[in-house]
Amino acid sequence: MTTCRVARTVMRLSVTLLFVVTFSLAGIDKWLTGAAPEWFVAQFAQTPLGGLPQTPLFLLVALGESLLGLGAVVSLLSGEWFRTRAPLLKLTLAASLLMFVALGFGARLSHKYEDAAFHFMYFTGTLLALVVIDRDDRMAEACELQEKIS
């Protein structure tokens, strides 16, 4: 195994594990909470979302985080971190971008600007990981095509 392959494998494994931990734990914590906690209700009370039932909104976030965590777990268990292509990991990362947009929107709407800035950083880091993994997939595909031609 070449140094580049080892580095790519470690990078993919690290990204996958980060998203397994981040979204699985966040989703599980919200499901165990069950109903929207008081801090969540208070955060959105003075916003346009305050008129909506808060528990379904809270559980919708929990569902999104759980699905993203599940996508990362399946990617991990299927060994995408070790293969030349990682389609499920890329899909999970792309969907994570939407989750960070939604979380950032909620933070901005409720005037929690520091939290919104963190979500922007998470979005940026996720986008960077997605670009790097996509680039590696494309390079691996080009190498395979070159090998077939030779």
Neighbours of 111 (CB within 10 A): 11
**Average pLDDT of span 98-111:** 96
Phi, psi (5° rounding) for residue 85? -130, 150
- Say what the pTM is: 0.88
pLDDT at 71 over 70: yes
pLDDT at residue number 110: 94
Q: Check residues 5 and 74 and name the one with the higher pLDDT.
A: 74
- When divided into structural domains, the chain yields a total of 1
* CB-facing half-sphere around the CA of 3: CA atoms within 13 A: 0
Range(s) of the domain holding residue 113 = 3-149
Which tokens hold the place of 138?
């494309």
